[in-house]
Chains A and B, each alone.
Chain A
Amino acid sequence: KNEVEQSPQNLTAQEGEFITINCSYSVGISALHWLQQHPGGGIVSLFMLSSGKKKHGRLIATINIQEKHSSLHITASHPRDSAVYICAVPNSGGGADGLTFGKGTHLIIQP
């Protein structure tokens, strides 16, 4: 089973700061998912990426398949970005077998 490690577990920053969240995994994968969860809420899929870099608004996700590592960046952070950010990988090489989740990074952006 894939081991997914995220860092940091908790992060508090000031509005406008550049944020980086890291994720590493132990077994090669076809794609990695970055997810967002607000307190008490459901999960929103931010990115699914298998190589290189993706950008959506102020969010950027990168992945290095050889190093089994991915990062999520938030530029010009805003209090509404406060949430738990979760990295997840498929349970198998490509089947519909669900995801294994990291423990999440609890991000707080202060005004």
Chain B
Amino acid sequence: DTEVTQTPKHLVMGMTNKKSLKCEQHMGHRAMYWYKQKAKKPPELMFVYSYEKLSINESVPSRFSPECPNSSLLNLHLHALQPEDSALYLCASSQTPGQRSGSYGYTFGSGTRLTVV
């Protein structure tokens, strides 16, 4: 399995709702990432998990709450979002430097298109 699977593909939620995005990979990658991408802009890094521990939080508002329950799964819990949070949310995974020597590649999911109404 060489894929990163994201669910759902599309999500519409109200500003008072609570929802979760899910990301799964079975490539043995020990680094997983959440990115946010607005229309016609490059992706922006939100969170990095390394060996199931949060290693980077790019000053993301607390209404976004990441979780890494195991080495294959990454969740992004959403609560009290604003319309400006509407975007494509991309998950990615990679090996870490500790897993092999040299550089390493990334695998991206197809994203969740989130609309906040």
Is A48 touching B105 in the complex (CB atoms < 8 A)? yes
Is A96 touching B31 in the complex (CB atoms < 8 A)? yes
Given known A45-B105, A50-B103, contact A98–B33 (CB-CB < 8 A): yes
Question: How far is the CB of B30 from the nearest CB of chain A, in Å?
Answer: 8
Is B42 touching A43 in the complex (CB atoms < 8 A)? no
A21 to B48, CA, bound (A): 29
Is B50 touching A96 in the complex (CB atoms < 8 A)? yes
Question: How far is the CB of B117 from the nearest CB of chain A, in Å?
Answer: 19
Is B48 touching A42 in the complex (CB atoms < 8 A)? no
Q: Which stretch from B11-19, B62-70, B74-82, B106-114 is at the chain A interface?
A: B106-114
Chain A 35-53: CB-based contact to B (< 8 A → 1; otherwise 0): 1000011111100101000
A91 at the interface (CB under 8 A from B): yes
The dominant DSSP class at the B interface is strand
- Across the interface, which residues of B come within 8 angstroms of A48, CB to CB? 103-106
B25 at the interface (CB under 8 A from A): no
B45 at the interface (CB under 8 A from A): yes
- Across the interface, which residues of B come within 8 angstroms of A91, CB to CB? 45
Chain A 3-50 interface residues, beta-carbon cutoff 8 Å to B: 30-31, 33, 35, 40-45, 48, 50
Closest to B99 in A: A96
Question: How far is the CB of A61 from the nearest CB of chain B, in Å?
Answer: 13
Besides the known contacts A31-B103, A43-B43, A48-B104, 7 further A-B residue pairs in the complex with CB atoms under 8 A apart:
A40-B113, A42-B90, A45-B108, A50-B102, A50-B103, A96-B48, A96-B96
